[in-house]
Structure 1
Amino acid sequence: MLIYLKRNLLAVLCIAVVLTACKKSNSDEPTTPPNNNNKGIQLASDAKFGTVLTNKDGKTLYFFANDAAGVPTCTNGCETNWPLYYSADASTDLNLNKAEVGEVTRTDGRKQSTYRGYPLYYFSGDAAKGDIKGDGVGGIWFVAKPDYSLMLANAQLVGADTKTYTSTYVEGTGLTKYLTDAFGRTLYAFAPDKNGLNTYTKGTTQEGIWPVYTSEIQNVPSVMAKTDLGVITVASVNKKQLTYKGWPLYYFASDTKRGDNKGITVPGSAAPGSVWPYVSTTTSVAPAQ
């Protein structure tokens, strides 16, 4: 009798195990997602924007044109729509250039991750992984990418004379939109140049004062057209130079840090912007040769 009861109990237990296993394998039951082993900034591929930066869970990150100097300027109410991104973890993405990842300490003491010196943000309107709804907002917010040839700054102009200027080169204050390289360094045009023709660089002396901007044609923020970019050869210094709307692009050597735009008042004997103007999306196409 005892043996019979033990056999029945064993049979009941076996049935229970089978039922439990079946229930767990039922596709209608919620399952625990696999662990995400990603850490830090990641690269993701988007059909429209190409390669973009995300957090470890695939949420899109953004650059702010007002932060061209590398200092976070989205504060207080701005953070409601654009929360800051920070991760102390090194990126596990093998395709990301780790040397271009950094961090900055905000005025309130919080840390914020950076890429190429640009503080990184989320957009509150991105509800799902892979959403990129914040690109182009206000013409100053752009999806963070690792391959911009040009970037857009929205900042105060301050000449070599330390005076502040508006976008029309009149003394005063106000933000101006202008082009920079991918690391926030201001780019200029030389007024006498022609479409696709550098008339300034005669040799290393000129190159030392107004270095040519060398870059491959990669990608641009969505407010620009990639077709406006070109590359010319500057034979006098054996370098390639990027052009925008036909204008050869230059740095000013005395702009010692990102965000500087002192070149607009050079030379001091000429009206600001008349010889070395900043370049913007509204700049006219360079005149034909």
Structure 2
Amino acid sequence: MKTSWRSASLAAAAAAVLALTTACGQESGSPAAGSQNVGATAAAGDYGSDGSGSNGYGADSNGTPGASAAASQKAGELAVAADAKLGKVLTDSAGHTLYRFDEDTANPPKSTCDDACAKTWTPVPADGATAGTGVSKALLGEVTRSDGTKQLTVAGWPVYRYVKDTEAGQTEGQGVGGKWFALAPDGKKASLADLPGLSVKKTDLGDIVVDRNGMTVYRFMKDRAWPTPKSACTGACLEKWPAVAPVDPAGTKGVKKKGLMSFTRPDGVKQMTVNCWPIYTFSGDKQPGDLNGQGVGGTWYAVSPDGKPVGAPAE
């Protein structure tokens, strides 16, 4: 019985390795892993109230601030976050998504969300809000609300947080009532409609792969692709070189489909590959088209549509 059990275990492990190896040699891939809710359905009215008696951002029915209420008052330094579904999203200093309301106006600025609405969509105070990296100071302003308080505006649009976004990075308010939308850094509605998850861009280096935000995608020469993808970039390395999240191969353009798949890293993070090579972006690239990661340390290179490292020395 012991011999039989061991044989069965070894067979199962071999089958798992073979399955992944086979996937690397086929024109297939893994579907994108949804990270956030970007199609929230409206609850009562247009406010997205859940009927729980919530008194505001993280407050209970008695008006006692919840854990996140105090931290959510002043926006602090505004930042730009990359969302897998929405692209560049404006956040406060704590990483909470900021929203705009279609019934408001930007020219002139006017907030129409009061009373019950303002308990679910808390107005962001103008006081204490500053422009961080990727945010134009010239777009920041304020509007006087009906209660006399000053609310932050971006490109004229009054800014809010959503009560159901209890953690940084959540976008539960996106699309609520068909009138509430996450803010892009320029004050427009954050959107990646019709943009491919990965695509090809022509540069001085040649054709390279870029992500859905137009940011350059890189390969690490210490990684491996065969027999299974393996990343050598861990810990502090990932802070500088974020792993590209899985995308649906069907939603890519110009990238070789063979070996276009995702794998699960030892830290549990799912990472996309091109021709089975793990791919990354670079924290030093601030704008689409930047190539600041090219050749760093002699180990990081932009990725060609077939997964090769562009400009790397011949091995």
Query: Which TM class, normalised by the smaller chain length?
Result: 0.3 to 0.5
Larger Rg: 1
The two structures have a TM-score, normalised by structure 2, of: 0.37
